[in-house]
Amino acid sequence: MTVIHIDIISDIVCAWCYIGKKTLEKAISLYQKTYPGGKNDIFKITWRPYYLDYHHQHNTSLVSDGSSSSVDKSEVAKVKLAHMSPERLEALKQRMDRIGRSVGIIFKPGGKIGSTRAAHHLINLCQATQTGNSVEVRDALVTRLFEAYHELEQDISSRTVLREIAVEAGMDAAQVDEFLDSFSSPEVLQESEVDREARQNKEATNTGVPLFIVQDVHRVDGAQDLMEFVEIFGKIREEEGQAEA
């Protein structure tokens, strides 16, 4: 049995990060079904924070419902993609729709975008909880956050949305309420360990996100190459097998 560690540096509002998540899941499934002994290997995934510049992250506490701090995704897209012609914009949309559907994502353009700071802290809280089902809850939380933003047109900076997602994922409701209450306090504007890690990740990641670091050695930039993951997993297993021989 081989234990394969994967660190994923990403932001929830990044479409390529969602595609990369789905691609990785398909790669793990393919590897475990086809590689000799692969079904016995264990994958340990850690989600690492990264703040994209779509919204002022650090100076924003949890966005309350109805706050003007969130803006329409379409408005952000107009600014970010202002340099592109209508033809190129349509081509980009069709490409993203095609790639998304290939991994089971139906991208929706509506909804609002706000700070993902609280969402990243919620993921970190879930990862730090040392309980028997914490990994399953964490995976469900991350999946629901990506789905809520990219497919359900929900504002993942909204307290109501975050609470609903966290509780549905299996987090304790009282713990979630305590976290959300504390995250709305003035003290949370101070830089936290999650904020520091997000800043360090941004400084160290020249290629942007997503970035996958496998076994602290292999780096996979981007989101699309399923077989690159499978080949890395196989290489790690063979190297560990040789070391044990």
Would you say residue 188 has pLDDT above 90? no
Of 52-61, 68-77, 188-197, 215-224, the one with minimum mean pLDDT is: 52-61
Give residue 9's pLDDT.
97
The reported pTM is 0.91
**Longest alpha-carbon distance in the chain:** 61
| Across 47-59, average pLDDT | 73
CA 226 from chain centre, in angstroms, equals 17
Classified by CATH at the fold level, domain 3-244 comes out as: Glutaredoxin (3.40.30)
| Chain segment 88-133, per-residue pLDDT in tens | 999 999 999 999 999 999 999 999 998 999 999 999 999 987 555 7
Tell me the sheet residues that pair with 30: none
Map out the domains of the chain as residue ranges.
Answer: 3-244
Q: Residue 188 gets which letter from DSSP?
A: G
Evaluate whether 22 touches 105 at the Cβ level (below 8 Å). yes
Give residue 187's pLDDT.
63
Task: Give the pLDDT band of residue 66 (cuts 50, 70, 90).
Answer: very low
- What element of type H or E holds 3? strand 3-10
Query: What is the signed CA dihedral for 102, 224, 207, 117, rounded to 10 degrees?
Result: 40
Task: Give the pLDDT band of residue 77 (cuts 50, 70, 90).
Answer: confident
Give residue 186's pLDDT.
60
Would you say residue 244 has pLDDT above 80? no
Q: What mean pLDDT, rounded, does the chain reach?
A: 88
Give residue 60's pLDDT.
47
Evaluate whether 21 touches 45 at the Cβ level (below 8 Å). no
Give residue 225's pLDDT.
87
